[in-house]
Amino acid sequence: MKKTQRTGVIREYDMHSASVKVGYGFILLLCGLMVVIAVFPLIWVSLAGFKDLKEFVSSESIIPQSFSPEPFATTWSQLGIAKNYLNSLISVVGSVACALVFNGLLGYGIGILKPKGHGAVKRLVMLSLLMPPTISIVPLFMNIQNLRMGNSFLPLWLSFGANAMYVILFVQFFESLPGSIIEASRIDGCSQLQTFFRIVLPLSKPICTVISIFAVNAAWSDFLLPYLVLRGAEKQTVMVRLFVFSTEQTVNADAMMRSVVFAMIPPIILFFIFQKQLTENAVSVGIKG
């Protein structure tokens, strides 16, 4: 069987040079150090969750004396986070749907339909990337109250349906699609919406996956807007519940560590499942003729 040739900054025939081997080893060492620095806080928090308060305060070792799951079970019961997981799931699902549909439609209009003035719209979208999201919180909250959408998940969903970064990602991907496919759908009598939902979106699974991952992580980690919009313990998301939990006088540092672990688990699982899509630098669409 023919050996697959690898291409990149350092190729296989470059490894015959001693200087390249030394440089390659240094790069691996540097990458390993960066991984340790990035992963160490997660490991420390997870291991600290197995300690009781006395051990957490007095022990200097990162390794706990016992790996009993009982402290996590106690904190889970004390936190009552199962309902908050469901609320965060509702927020995430709706946010992902709006992020794909609404941003995708705008990207479809700019990148494929290209009506008169689409260039100005694209520039305005890119200009909005320079504006910090926090400056829109006050007018956004006032509009939510004026529209009587308070204490509802709908504002959380719609806020992800207007994201400039997602629009630009969609535009760049849609512009790479062959125009022959769009023309063929129009010849077959498809409307613009039918072309978008039946042709363009199915061909855009790579970019939809990437945007879905970003939206899931952002919606799960969002604190300020759910805290302002959702009232009452029944609709608190995980991040809001952690904040409320941290303000209770009966909460110790060890219990707070375990509650942080509960909040970290879903994003970490998501990353390991979709890490390939996150780290890909380029995507392409294959067409069978």
3-state secondary structure of 102: helix
| H or E segment and range at residue 169 | helix 164-174
141 and 26 within one domain = no
Domain range for residue 28?
A: 13-75
pTM of the model: 0.78
Task: Answer whether 144's CB lies under 8 Å from 151's CB.
Answer: no
Residue 8 pLDDT level (bands cut at 50, 70, 90)? low
Q: Give the residue ranges of DSSP H helices in 59-136.
A: 70-79, 82-108, 118-128
Mean pLDDT of the chain: 83
Spatial distance between the Cα atoms of 160 and 226, rounded to a whole number of angstroms: 13
- Of 273 and 1, the one with more pLDDT: 273
> CB neighbours (10 Å) of residue 170?
27
Last residue of a domain, one of 25, 57, 75: 75
Rounded-to-integer distance, Cα 6 and Cα 146, Å: 59
| Same-domain pairing of 67 and 94 | no
The pLDDT tens digits of the residues spanning 155-165 come to 999 988 889 99
Convert the pLDDT of each residue in 206-244 to its tens digit. Answer: 889 889 888 998 999 889 899 989 887 788 899 998 888
Rounded CA separation 5/118 (Å): 43
- Degrees (nearest 5) of the Cα angle 98, 104, 108? 155
DSSP 250: T
In the structure, what pLDDT confidence band is assigned to residue 191 with cuts at 50, 70 and 90? Answer: confident
Percentage, residues of the chain above pLDDT 90? 21
pLDDT tens-digit series, residues 224-234: 899 989 887 78
Looking at the structure, tell me whether residues 189 and 62 fall in a common domain: no
Query: Rounded to 5 degrees, what are φ and ψ at 285?
Result: -115, 125
* Helix ranges (DSSP H) in 233-280: 238-247, 253-279
Residues 154, 146 contacting (CB under 8 angstroms) = no
54 and 150 belong to one structural domain: no
Does 117 have pLDDT greater than 80? yes
- Cα(230)–Cα(145) distance, integer angstroms: 12
- 120 and 230 in a single domain? The answer is yes
CA 281 from chain centre, in angstroms, equals 17
CA 244 to chain centre: 24
State residue 249's pLDDT score.
65
| Structural domain contains residue 268 | no
Q: What is the pLDDT of residues 59-116, one digit of tens each?
A: 778 888 888 888 888 888 888 888 889 999 999 999 999 999 999 999 999 999 888 9
Burial environment of residue 244 by CB neighbours within 10 A (0 to 12, 13 to 18, 19 or more): middle
Does 102 share its domain with 238?
yes
Same structural domain for residues 160 and 240? yes
